[in-house]
Amino acid sequence: MNNEELSLPLLIVVGLILIAQSIFLFVDARRHGHNYWLWGIAGLIQAPMPTLFYLIFVRKIWQKKEKY
């Protein structure tokens, strides 16, 4: 197996991961009132850092939600 045989399936898998991440970030940011275009485009650049930044710094998932 040479590099050309391995590179096409690898590119397809990486592309699917990036598209799935971008769709998740776009839909979730839109649902929660954040800048959804920014997060959708950021999700296409690399994985998994945009998702981690979004969940930790924007959504603040570690904080306990208070009930009013």
Predicted confidence (pLDDT) per residue in 13-31, tens digit:
999 999 999 999 999 999 9
Give the C-alpha separation, 25 to 21, whole Å. 6
Query: Is 47 within the bounds of a domain?
Result: yes
CA distance 28 to 40: 10
Q: 45 is written with which tokens? A: 């650049």
In a domain, 54, yes or no: yes
Range of the domain at 51: 3-58
pLDDT classification of 38: cutoffs 50, 70, 90:
very high
Structural domain includes residue 63: no
Question: Lowest-pLDDT range, 6-10, 26-30, 44-48?
Answer: 6-10
| Alpha carbons 54 and 43: distance in angstroms, whole number | 10
Q: Is 48 domain-assigned?
A: yes
Looking at the domain assignment, is residue 65 inside a domain? no
In this predicted model, which residue has the larger pLDDT, 2 or 23? 23
- pTM of the predicted model over 0.85: no
Classify residue 21: in a domain, yes or no: yes
Residues constituting the chain: 68
Rg (CA), the chain: 16
List the one residue out of 49, 22, 47, 55 whose CA is nearest residue 36. Answer: 22
